[in-house]
Amino acid sequence: MIDVNDLVVSYGTATALEHVTLNVGKGEMVALLGPNGAGKSTLANTLAGLLKPSSGTVEIGGRLALIPEGRQLFPDLSVADNLALGGWRSGERDPSFVYDLLPRLAELARRRAGVLSGGEQQMVAFGRAMMSRPSVLVVDELSLGLAPNVTADLAAHLVELNQSRGLTVLLIEQNARLAFDLCSRAYVVESGRLVAEGECAELADDPRVAGAYLGGA
């Protein structure tokens, strides 16, 4: 569903991604790990068509939605209006299926997005992404700034969508433990380059990966 081949992306003269090749198959949930500034958001934004590759190819085999880093909600609009904006491209106007997926959003529908907690805002960003009825979801830092129990709740919804509805997911994370819990395979990017890839169980045993991302565990 996601096929990235020899991708190079630059900001002016600064290269943020260098010859990155990765793929996510239909129905898979795959992680992309890396430290600050590694190029993860650059990849997410390139997959979403917001940035153009300098070279290489990106192929997406279905409708893709992005939960962007930092949620990017309209804080003065209601939750319902933020969701409606997510349906703009697909023509989806009825949010009831999103309220079924994420029932808390029905309770929050009339609240202003800007007054919600971080976890609630991430749920709105999640629901807004689902309003485009995607077959592929790219999640840029699900856990950023959220308490572990809030992250776990959102992650459970993600797993449910992946397992019961076949949603293909690329989970971009700094939290390797979360990523390894949820995903079967992972890629590790540092300074714009892929430095490791494989099954999560194997990566967790790799001393370089464990040392850098699992606190030496």
Select the residue interacting with ligand ATP from 2, 7, 30, 38 (CB under 6 A). Answer: 38
Least separation in angstroms between CB 82 and ligand ATP = 22
The total of other beta-carbon atoms located within 10 Å of residue 26's CB is: 13
CA separation for the pair 143, 110 (Å, rounded): 25
CA separation for the pair 49, 58 (Å, rounded): 9
Q: Could you tell me which of 137, 172, 184, 133 has the C-alpha nearest to residue 43? A: 172
Give alpha helix (H) positions in 117-195.
118-130, 148-165, 176-182
Amino acid at 196: A
User: Which residue's CB is nearer to ligand ATP, number 21 or number 78?
Assistant: 21
> Does 164 engage in binding with ligand ATP (CB under 6 A)?
no
Least separation in angstroms between CB 92 and ligand ATP = 29
CA separation for the pair 123, 87 (Å, rounded): 16
x/- track of binding to ligand ATP for residues 50-79 (CB under 6 A): -------------------x----------
Stretch that binds ligand ATP, among 40-48, 114-122, 151-159, 202-210 (CB under 6 A): 40-48
Select the residue interacting with ligand ATP from 36, 96, 149, 164 (CB under 6 A). Answer: 36
User: Which residue's CB is nearer to ligand ATP, number 79 or number 143?
Assistant: 143
Stretch that binds ligand ATP, among 30-38, 104-112, 122-130, 203-211 (CB under 6 A): 30-38
Helix 118-130 / helix 79-86 crossing angle, nearest 10 deg:
30
The binding site for ligand ATP (CB under 6 A) comprises 11, 14, 16, 34, 36-42, 69
